[in-house]
Amino acid sequence: MSSIKLVELAEMIGATLQGDPDAEIVGCATLEDAGPGDLSFLNNPRYTDQLATTKAEAVVVSPDDAKRANGCSVLIADNPYFAFRQAMVKLHGFRPQPAVGISPQAYIDETAIVGELCTVRPFAYVAPGARLGDRVILYPGCYIGKKAVIGNDTTLHPGVCVYDRSVIGDRVTVHANTVIGEDGLGYATAQRDGDDEVRHHKIPQAGNAVVGNDVEIGANCSIDRAALGSTVIGDGTKLSDNVVIGHGVKLGRFNMIVAHVGIAGSTTTGDFVTMGGQVGLAGHLKIGSHVTIAADAKVMTDIPDGETWGGTPATPLSDAKRVVLSQKRVPAMASQIKALERRIAELEQRL
């Protein structure tokens, strides 16, 4: 790994340097693990105390935290997290991709269209009528269904399955074993003539799934196709691992969805929505833009723009906090009630 002088790195990431301009930076590390030659950062106040003990060569900090650094150089930035990200790109870069080329062990139907400089690794399958844009990368075991469309500069990691007629935009990354465009949970429950009891009857899922540009989808996610129309993942949205998107859901732009979130069918979200881990959304809801939903919340009603909700069932976060505080007092309240009951019984005996 090549090194870079601290003064050059500061200029590159748009930070103000206080310290040794000739210090050599060779990598990035956490405040706790960093040593000589390492760059670290402080963005979360719970780690402020580590500024006094870190062995890092330099730390990216906010203007308010710069004075707390003890002995090491600092790079002062208004957004330390993003500035550190820029340094990470320079020093570490992104995962190297395989060499361009089509493996003889891959199958590409003769009616499929493959753009320029694509990479298709062994045992990938591209079905009839599918279309790959330029510089698409398919890792081993990928399946691209009939008439599916994959945009330019998109990477699908091992085992990704893209069902027929699904559309994936440009510069998308999909991690291992994710499925896009499978049938949604669409059934009509009825007792038909000749049936001895009520049964669930499958509804054809005639729609598709559409993933916008600059989306990243984690491993083991499931995105259902719509019964009618499209399930949509908006531009710039990021999904962590094990996220389930029901049929007909429409996520807005730049949503951030953490692991183990489940969103039931036909729910829509606005732009810049954030959901913590294990959030669950009922179907047919409307979630506004710039909404934050705390981890493990279970949402049963619409949420207006700009609000923060939490709890089960989810309510505005200030209300959810009061509920939690009240629950903590329940054991003491139960003891008080029992004491009052005993006192009342004693008083009744005297009457």
| Cis ω for the linkage preceding 80 (within 30 of 0) | no
Whether 201 is a known active-site residue: answer no
H or E segment at 16?
A: strand 16-18
Cα separation, 239 vs 269, whole angstroms: 14
Three-state DSSP class for 344?
helix
E strand segments, 42-193: 58-61, 73-76, 101-102, 107-108, 113-114, 119-120, 125-126, 131-132, 137-138, 143-144, 149-150, 155-156, 161-162, 167-168, 173-174, 179-182, 187-190
The backbone torsions φ and ψ at residue 27, rounded to the nearest 5 degrees and listed phi first, read -170, 180
- Rounding to the nearest 10 degrees, give the CA dihedral for residues 291, 221, 161, 254: 20
Which of 157, 200, 201, 247 is catalytic? The answer is 247
- Active-site residue list: 247
